[in-house]
Amino acid sequence: MPQDPAERRVVVTAPPRRTLPHARLRSRGRYPHAPDHHRPRTEIDEQTTLGHTYVRSLMRTQLRAALTVFAVLALLIGPLPLLFTALPGARRLEWAVLGFGLYVPLVLLARWYVRRAERNERDLVRLVEDR
């Protein structure tokens, strides 16, 4: 039973585009009269060079905060084995430091990191929403 050629289904596919042609022209300044040509949200959505810069900036600030936490953590915990070997008879000091003394700095450090990361994200959102 042959099908009618008018009822034949056709599937059209194309490779996904990163940016629309008019978006590339707008980001290069060829359409300066476009109302939102400097809006960071459209730059990020259209994945232009400027949008990529915004995202990389956020990633850099988050990485800087994480490396700061790691450095403080290494300076806090790193010398403990040396301290414990220098004082071999201080078993109670070891238990006190490891069992109780590290929790408060670790919680404060974690709290600082979460607040810093949220502030970095909030700053990017403010920039994107033009507030």
pTM: 0.60
- Asked if pLDDT for residue 62 goes beyond 90, the answer is yes
**Domain parsing of the chain, residue ranges:** 19-128
How sure is the predictor about 36, in pLDDT bands with cuts at 50, 70 and 90? very low
3-state SS, the chain, equals CCCCHHHCCCCCCCCCCCCCHHHHHHHCCCCCCCCCCCCHHHHHHCCCHHHHHHHHHHHHHHHHHHHHHHHHHHHHHCCHHHHHHHCCCCHHHHHHHHHHHCHHHHHHHHHHHHHHHHHHHHHHHHHHCCC
pLDDT for res 21:
54
